[in-house]
Amino acid sequence: MTKDDLYARYQAAHTAHRAHRESCTSCTDTSRCPVGQRLYRSFAALQDAYLNRQRQQR
């Protein structure tokens, strides 16, 4: 996986999470529905991986 692939996946996960959050009436700032939680976990994991890779390249 290249750096650009990871970045694209991280951004796509953010977009999916944000879109869900905007349309879901169950999700709030402090709790998430099961789908929202899955999307958030995916986004957070990809964000962590991307940021860790950025730190390693410095």
Q: Which amino acid is at 46?
A: L
What does the pLDDT read at residue 41?
Answer: 96
What band does 2 get if pLDDT is binned at 50, 70 and 90?
low
CA 49, chain centre distance (Å): 11
- Reduce the DSSP state of residue 1 to 3 states and report it: coil
DSSP per-residue letters across 4-51: HHHHHHHHHHHHHHHHHHHH-SS--SS---HHHHHHHHHHHHHHHHHH
Each residue's pLDDT tens digit, 20-42: 999 999 998 889 999 999 999 99
Q: Are 21 and 27 in contact (CB under 8 A)?
A: yes
Q: Write down the pTM of the prediction.
A: 0.84
